[in-house]
Amino acid sequence: MQDDDVTVQTLETLINAPDEWALFLDIDGTLLNLAPTPDSIQVPEALPGQLNRLYGKLGGAMALVTGRSLAFADLLFKPFSFPLAGLHGAEFRDASGVSTATETEAFQALKHQLVREAEGYPGVLIEDKGGAVAAHYRLAPDYETILAERMRHYAEIAGPGWALQLGKMVFELRPARASKGDALERFLQTEPFRSRRPIAMGDDLTDESMFAIANARGGLSVRVGALDASSCAGHRLSSAALVRNMVATWAA
C-alpha cells in the first residue's frame, strides 16, 4: 500500500485526464473528520462549493457513496446535490432519479424496540436512517460486546433481507442486498460514469467492497486514515484533511 506522497502523485492523474476517470467518495472519515456523535459532524464552509466545481470538471462523473441516508447527505452539502448512493447503496440517485429501499412496518417496530433497549446502555446512540438503523458506541466502548450480541439478535429478528454491518465503533442493520461495491458497479453502468476508470476513496470496512471493484476495473483504491484492519486498497492517505486538500486543488 502506497502512503501519502506517492498517493498524491498518483491521484494527479485525475487532474491531467479528467475525462478518463470517475471519482467515488465516502463521506464520514473520508471527506469529513469523524465526530463523537453522528449529528455533530462538521462540514468546512468551502467544501460544498469545491465539490460542485470538481463535479463540473469531471463532467458529472463524481458520486458520494455513504452509509448516511440520501436526505442527510444532501443537507451536509446544500445547496448542491450530487449522484449519491446512500445507506451503503440501498438508496441511489443518478440522472434518472432516486430508488429507495422499502421500510416495512415490522422494521419500524424493530427500530423502536432497539431505541427502548438502548436507553439501558448510557452513551450508546441509535441513529434511525429510515431504511437502516445504526448503534454507535464511540461514547460507550465498554458496551461493544453486549451491543454486538444484541445487534445480532435484532438481525435474526429482521430476517434474511437484512444484514449486520460492522464499522468504526458502530453496528448497523441494513438491507442485505446493499453494498458500496454494488453501488459503484451500478454507477459504472450509467452515463457519465460508463467507460471510465474508478477512483474509490473510503476509510472503513464498509468501503472494502468498493475498493475491490475499483481494483478489478483497473482503477485506484485509497484507504483514508489509520489502518486498524487489513485492506485491499492499493493506496493510503493518512487523514480526511488530506482528501479535502486534494479536492480543493482539483477544484481550483
Whether pLDDT at 115 is above 90: yes
> Distances in Å between the alpha carbon of 240 and those of 29, 42, 52, 114?
6, 12, 18, 32
C-alpha to C-alpha distances, 202 to 5, 80, 119, nearest whole angstrom: 18, 21, 31
Strand 235-237, strand 220-224: pairing: parallel
Domain termination site, one of 132, 157, 175: 175
Please tell me whether residues 238 and 213 are part of one structural domain. yes
Q: Provide the residue range defining the domain that includes 214.
A: 4-101+178-251
Distances (CA, A) of 219 to 14, 136, 225: 11, 32, 20
Closest alpha carbon to 74 in 56, 86, 89: 86
Last residue of a domain, one of 132, 149, 175: 175
169 and 182 assigned to the same domain: no
Question: Known catalytic residue: 128?
Answer: no
Q: Are residues 79 and 201 in the same domain?
A: yes
58 and 128 both lie in a single domain: no
Euclidean distance between CA atoms 126 and 37, whole angstroms: 10
The CATH number linked to 237 is: 3.40.50.1000
**pLDDT per residue as tens digits for the range 134-178:** 999 999 999 999 999 999 999 999 998 889 999 889 999 988 878
Among residues 132, 158, 175, the one where a domain terminates is: 175
Range 110-116 contact pairs with CB under 8 angstroms and sequence separation of 24 or more: 110/154, 110/157, 110/158, 110/173, 113/154, 114/154
Over range 11-34, report the average pLDDT. 92
In this prediction, residue 119 carries a pLDDT of: 96
- What's the pLDDT tens digit per position in 31-71? 999 998 988 999 999 999 999 999 999 999 999 999 999 98
How many domains does the chain fold into?
A: 2
Among 12-21, 209-218, 236-245, the range scoring the smallest mean pLDDT is 12-21
Same domain, 95 and 130: no
**Same domain assignment for residues 12 and 62:** yes
Q: Which of 26, 28, 182, 207 is catalytic?
A: 26
Q: Is 119 found in the same domain as 21? A: no
Q: What is the CATH number of the domain that holds 167?
A: 3.30.70.1020
